[in-house]
Chain A
Amino acid sequence: EDKVVQSPLSLVVHEGDTVTLNCSYEVTNFRSLLWYKQEKKAPTFLFMLTSSGIEKKSGRLSSILDKKELFSILNITATQTGDSAVYLCAVGKYGNKLVFGAGTILRVKS
């Protein structure tokens, strides 16, 4: 059975802190790993990772994939209150299905 496990389940930090969110997976027919940010509505796309060891960066966010150890991390530096959200990790399979983790709830306090 396909599994995507995210940790921690929730996290509270202060503005300016750096956070690392983890995602491990056991999925057949792996194609890609995606990170999404979900606030009140539908998820918004952050990153898609397909190759090991290549960091993707967007502003204060970065992510990397390790296909040998089957995990990915999402880093957020200099956190802001606007970063408060649920961060979802999903594995894309061939056939285009996404298998989601339960998400990490991040709360950034001012």
Chain B
Amino acid sequence: GAVVSQHPSWVICKSGTSVKIECRSLDFQATTMFWYRQFPKQSLMLMATSNEGSKATYEQGVEKDKFLINHASLTLSTLTVTSAHPEDSSFYICSAEWRGNSSGNTIYFGEGSWLTVV
């Protein structure tokens, strides 16, 4: 099946610094990728839709200046958490749509990135 790779798997950073998380589709091209956040014991919440070659679309309540998304190529999207604070500590997951076979398109997830801000 399609593979989506996310890096780093986990990161610890100091409050006030910025952290970049990468999401790559390894064996397919993805014009659209999605970024989710998941707090402990909660479900995934969509943060933004990353569009190759254009600006990301953010969900209501998500600060676009704080969570910078860049989709520079058909296989790479990055999420930068700027001026991170402890409340930004969470599990961040990306996904990409595989435009597959006649059964339809399927969305695959990266492995996720644990961010801890201290």
Contact = CB atoms under 8 A, between A and B. Distances in A.
Interface residues of A, number: 21
Contact of A98 (B1, B95, B103, B112): B95
A98 B35 CA distance: 11
A48 B103 contact: yes
Given A42-B6, A45-B1, A50-B104, A97 B110 contact: no
Contacts of B93: 42-43
Given A42-B6, A42-B93, A45-B1, A100 B107 contact: no
B43 A100 contact: yes
Interface in B29-45: 32, 34, 42-45
Contacts, number: 52
Given A42-B112, A88-B43, A88-B44, A96 B107 contact: yes
A96 B6 contact: no
A68 interface: no
Contact of B107 (A34, A41, A101): A34
Interface in A59-89: 88
B49 A96 contact: yes
Interface residues of B, number: 23
Nearest to B32: A96
A38 to B, nearest CB: 9
B21 to A, nearest CB: 12
B97 A96 contact: yes
Contacts of B46: 97-99
For A34, A88, A103, the residue with the greatest tally of chain B CB atoms inside 10 Å of its CB is A103
Q: 8 closest Cβ contacts across the A-B interface?
A: A42-B112, A42-B109, A100-B43, A102-B43, A100-B44, A42-B93, A41-B112, A43-B109
29 contacts: A34-B107, A36-B109, A41-B112, A42-B6, A42-B93, A42-B109, A42-B111, A42-B112, A43-B109, A44-B109, A45-B106, A45-B107, A45-B108, A48-B103, A48-B104, A48-B106, A50-B103, A88-B43, A96-B34, A96-B49, A96-B97, A96-B107, A97-B34, A97-B46, A97-B49, A98-B95, A100-B43, A101-B43, A103-B43
